Structure 1
Amino acid sequence: MKPDNDSNREISSPSVSTTLADIFGFFALLMRYPKKSFFDDEFLDTLENLLAKLDLEPLRQKICAWRSSVDDPLPDAQIEYTRLFINAAPHLIAPPYGSVYLESEVSLQGKSTETTRDFYRRYGFDIVNTAEPADHISLELEFLSCLYRQHEITAAETFVRTLFLPWFEQFYHQLMAELRHPLYEVSIQLISLFVQEDQ
């Protein structure tokens, strides 16, 4: 996301780059399976604060209403994450993997996954402590966070344009058609806002 009408500084400003690193790191957590280790009131307060700062009041109200309607947001979010991204009958609603949308034959760990992994390696991004393929949306968002933290703005823009947006747009539309939960509706719209503005 670029600052308003200041094309000379754009996102080369260290403070803006650091802010984007924090935001994309937060997005990566939003698209991970919700766990007690990070998914708590402080996490959801951060989401509400971000929406308020971006002047997205209707989306903030959706999150507030959802939080008020459940005793414990964690299991509620886990159930919906599982339905959307892990298993649902009769088929998976929105596989969160780039290769599913980019390969001619729907499969995981395709050639595009290796291309993504190669891009990661060029910038020293290692995938650790996860069994997820390199093109899982949360890993791609985490990688963008790392690029912004290193002030690798051009690399981040190239990654979004060549490896993220080509599949994210299809994933976005597929997901929006099936969403029943405000957390993921708001999350995917926020991510879309930032990656589209990045171009």
Structure 2
Amino acid sequence: MQLTDEFIRNEGHRADCYRFLSACYSYSIQDLKDEGLKNLIASLQPVCGEAVSFARDMDEALASAEVLSLKVDHSALFIGPFKLISPPYGSAYLEEGRAVMGGTTVDAIKFYKSAGVEMDPQQKDIPDHIAVELE
């Protein structure tokens, strides 16, 4: 196999890893429970073998967890209702006063456009949401 073929194959695995990691920040937990981490484990092996054991641990924990409990935890961390513990938006950490949809979000949009990346029109999260950026 040529070096170029190996590089292309590994970049495909790396892209899959980012896509599966993106799913970890999604509210759609059942999809992740059904297959996401198994696919992440397979994609991690060639590009970051040392991370495989951590992904396996996550997969085991996810298998025994209740979907409703995971959704409650996800909501508490990333959605609210009272205090947002861990905002999933880059702008919340980069903008003064933890403002969302500020200049850094606009910068992310410009960067996506300059790289030829288009947002999925059905995407409901703002462009600097960690799941969007990993995708």
Mapped partners of 2:36, 2:114: distance in 1: 31
Segments of 4+ moved more than 4 angstroms: 47-51
- Matched-pair contact (CA < 8 Å) for 2:23–2:36: no
TM-score (norm 2): 0.77
Identity of aligned residues (%): 29
Which amino acid in the other structure matches residue 27 of structure 2?
Answer: Y
Using a 3 Å threshold, how does the CA distance of structure 1 residues 44 and 74 change in structure 2: closer, same or farther? farther
| Correspondence for 1:76 | 69
Displacement of 1:59 in angstroms is 5.5
Superposed CA deviations along residues 78-119 of structure 1, whole A, max 9, x for unmatched, are 121111100154x11100000110012221100000000000
- Matched-pair contact (CA < 8 Å) for 2:19–2:134: yes
Other structure's SS at 1:134 match: coil
| Correspondence for 1:67 | 63
Displacement of 1:137 in angstroms is 0.3
Other structure's SS at 1:114 match: helix
- Matched-pair contact (CA < 8 Å) for 2:91–2:98: yes
User: Is structure 2 residue 18 aligned with structure 1 residue 34?
Assistant: no
User: Is structure 2 residue 92 aligned with structure 1 residue 85?
Assistant: no
| Correspondence for 1:122 | 114
Alignment equivalent of 1:21, drawn from 9, 15, 21: 15
Using a 3 Å threshold, how does the CA distance of structure 1 residues 40 and 64 change in structure 2: closer, same or farther? closer
User: Is structure 2 residue 125 aligned with structure 1 residue 140?
Assistant: no
| Correspondence for 1:111 | 103
| Correspondence for 2:36 | 43
Mapped partners of 1:57, 1:102: distance in 2: 32
- Matched-pair contact (CA < 8 Å) for 1:39–1:74: no
Other structure's SS at 1:14 match: helix
Mapped partners of 1:21, 1:58: distance in 2: 18
Mapped partners of 1:59, 1:20: distance in 2: 14
TM-score (norm 1): 0.55
Which amino acid in the other structure matches residue 42 of structure 1?
Answer: E
Q: Which runs of 5+ in 1 are unaligned?
A: 1-8, 143-199
Figure out how many residues of one structure are paired with residues of the other and give that number. Answer: 127
Q: Which runs of 5+ in 2 are unaligned?
A: none
Mapped partners of 2:17, 2:27: distance in 1: 18
Which amino acid in the other structure matches residue 77 of structure 1?
Answer: L
Using a 3 Å threshold, how does the CA distance of structure 1 residues 115 and 85 change in structure 2: closer, same or farther? same
